Structure 1
Amino acid sequence: MTRVKHLLLALACGMALVPGVPAMAQQASVAEAEAAYRALAPQEAARAGDPQFDYQLGIAALDAGHYGEAIIALQRVLAVQPANAQARAELARAYALAGDIDTARAQFATVVDDPSLPDPVRQRFTGFVRQFDRQIAGGGSDLSGYLDARAGHDSNINAATDLTQVTIPLFSFLGPGTLGPGARAQEDEFYELTGGLSGVSAISRQDRVFGSVLGSWRDNFDTSAFDTASLTGTAGYAHSFANRDVLSLSAQAQRFWLDDAGYRNSYGAVAQYTRVLDGGRALTLSAQYNRLDFDGQPLLDADRFAVAVGFVTRDISATVQAGKEETTQAAGDAYSNLFANASLGGEWALSPQVAVQGGLAFDLRRYDAADALFLVERADERLDAQVGLKVRLTDALFFQPRATYTRNWSNIALYDYDRFTVSAGVRLEF
């Protein structure tokens, strides 16, 4: 009966290793286990080799987090008592907690083969073996996605100046020129639909392939000239190292539409290295290349190179990026530019049902050649701010009101503008 009791305890403790399975027995607190370990450890030199002592020492070390010492002590038990199923189950737990799931799987499988093992314990240990097999194979596959529908008001749908007249230096002798409606800020109500589907599949324990498709559609109520749509596809490969760091390589393509007509194609590649830190934090370093091809506007076609450093926690993410956008034709040099930007965003829970979302971003651009009309090299700085709420309606459905503000400063009046939006929508995550 004592043996079955020990096995059930090992079973209950082992269940905590499997995601989504609650432990059925509570281990001693870490402080109590540490005290027991400190009381037994000084006796190890004199009593090592005594199976009863080694078992007690192994359990105390295991519960106190001294996994290496626990493994050694429990191995001594099995050296003397190779049929001791409870010691082998605890050894499997120690290997699993230490991160060696291959050996943990082998030890649990050995326990399963013990003919005296009670059926309920055998069934659960068999479940552990399957779980470890899944982890060894890389974790299987996963598919997730979202749909977002919202409506709101935009003070400047075309990101244009509020001015009605602008003096063009090349034609200054003619005096100020009146801007047409498309070159002046226009406000309108809008609705917007966005959605995405992402998938990942393990091809080995450390290697995965992934892909995603993201789409958006925005329709302005009173004018279609600035309606937009986009479709983006990504496919890539990720490798996880023994220290949990991840290297990923991906290819990406995008089609962008303006006023229901094709406007731009973009395609390129991204390489990213992620350094995993404690406490749900990570550092990222990435390099990206994109080719931009504009329909019917060859002077805008460009190659875009960027490098970025990021830092993420459970609540916030921050990124700093810099790069170069170089037009493919010398005649388009006025559109070539150096850029740098920084962004900070986060989500903070106010309650289990409500979270605040917010973000700030700053973008700086310096253009290579003088504008043909304004006779100066364009220089822009842009500030973007966003704040909103995420209200949980169900486990998968959220209500999200949001406000955004953009201010773009430019030495060319035509590109100097501000813009704000307010919107509300629902988001379904699956």
Structure 2
Amino acid sequence: MGEYVIKLPDVGEGVAEAELVEWQVKVGDLVREDAVLAAVMTDKATVEIPSPVDGEILWLGAEIGDTVAIGSPIVRLKVAGDGNVKPETGKPEKIAKAEAPAEAAASKPEAAAAVPRPSPQVAEAQGKPEPFPVVPKSRSQSPVSGAPRFEGEKPLASPAIRLRAKEAGIDLRQIAGSGPAGRIQHEDIDAFLARGPQVAKVSGLARNETIEDIKIVGLRRKIAEKMTLAKSRIPHITYVEEIDVTALEDLRAALNKEKRSGAERPKLTLLPFLMRAMVKAIADQPNLNALFDDEAGIIHQHGGVHIGIAAQTPSGLVVPVVKHAEARDIWDCGAEVVRLAEAAKSGTATRDELSGSTITITSLGAMGGVATTPVINHPEVAILGVNKMMVRPVWDGTQFIPRKMINLSSSFDHRVIDGWDAAVFIQRIKTLLETPALIFVD
């Protein structure tokens, strides 16, 4: 038998490190060749790491949320044959360091006998986060006189005990357990009930003192870093305008009903029309389609309009990009939005599909609210936010009539975009959306 060390492979051009976001194996597992071991993330793209050989997991080299350098050992396997590591030099550095305290403890038998501590490898294999023994608190240590356990301390009880307590309406936190380590037994419940139903029943308004610590990892950490960067560097100005989309909705419905032989067209939403309106407005104001390098003091004004579409996925917010919207018609824009949305939700979007935007659209659909304050996708200089559509009474000069209305809530980088330019841009889009025939006029 031999050992085989798997190192983090090159997961993308120019990528020097990646964040570990998922382990699909644990120490002691038997894995087959090509089985997925872990998933790492870089630039919002998740990459799975497969096993190149059959073997048994001996060691895992990182924890969820750790940043791992390309080429670093991440898994050690026991394999048939010689493996790829020489026995005398094949022990990963992390394991060697972990065993050092154990060797030191072995030289002091009296200390080891006083406080037995399992090795890190055993604790890891058993799934225990800490190898140190837990010393139960005595009831005399309780901070509140007469309380059976410390505030927030989880009661120890078997599933059968918990079921009985639930059916009887008993709060196990109020029962002092007589079993080992304070474990609650059936006789403890009997004694508690014998003291009277007035203390046995649980109020529906019981206090909850629990605190759960959740480590921010993976996509959520990327989002947090991106939002912090955007808000700390970009002075936002937000401009909100209402738009009458009644005519646009009539046109959209008519186009969706139209059938053309030999042409496979997607069902149109509002987004393709907004994208084409943005392309026309950007032609008049190209400074809105730009990236601002604030460290170098340079604005990179792009000719191609690459529109990011902020999309909510089960893992969090991602921004797939419709490249060269200026070269796409309404239906092509719609088809690309559908394709990218499906790729983002399934987690199959590539790094290229999730980068390279020059301006962004964000929409919460039916949950869009009346107005929002979108955060600019750094280093872009503008983002358009679409709020939900509502039928509102609109005065036409003689009477109120029902019209389909939406609000556009758009933010701009005030360092490079003046409020006047922002207003001109949105008013141009308003004109195009309220008179949708203009969108099709070159």
Question: TM-score normalized by structure 2?
Answer: 0.22
Select the structure that is richer in strand: 1
Question: TM-score normalized by structure 1?
Answer: 0.22
Higher normalized contact order (CA 8 Å, seq sep 6+, divided by chain length): 2
